[in-house]
Structure 1
């Protein structure tokens, strides 16, 4: 089964970002095909050198680094969201494929389940 996870929240405002990543890792651990889509403020999760401890929050960067270990290879970032926040594609902490909204819609149409966080 193919699961798509839309990660639309910043990394440390609430638990949405962490819960989305945990759910994606759990699905992958149970052998599901997983695709991640970072959109809106969710692209902020991809910035390097975040200081979670200063916010008294758990760091999500370790989960991002573990994506390969869980065979999550389909990691996408919304190009428009990056541009709106002045973030360059080559400045991200992990390797992602930048896509536009049309490509995202086409890819989501192939997923059996779509989860929004």
Structure 2
């Protein structure tokens, strides 16, 4: 796949990134990090650029880990729902077969009654 060269300005520094991702996507990531670094710096002006970057990285790692955990939980819930749906389908199939059997039995009994009359 073709590599895209994307220039990002983050916290006053320019970074050139080679990526297979869409340039607009990477630019959006750069804007997010830039905003977060400025927000951390505004809250704690005595922090160095490196300290700001580490705090932003920790915050992003935390968000990523929580999102992954939520995704795992959602996959487990979906799996449970699929299993429940499969069980319900089996129950419906069993009930349909029983209804068909009872309808045949009812029809047979009606025929016997009509023959006796």
Taking structure 1 as the reference length, what is the TM-score of the superposition?
0.20
Greater fraction of residues in strand: 1
Greater fraction of residues in helix: 2
Taking structure 2 as the reference length, what is the TM-score of the superposition?
0.20
Higher relative contact order by CA 8 Å / sep ≥ 6: 1 or 2?
Answer: 1
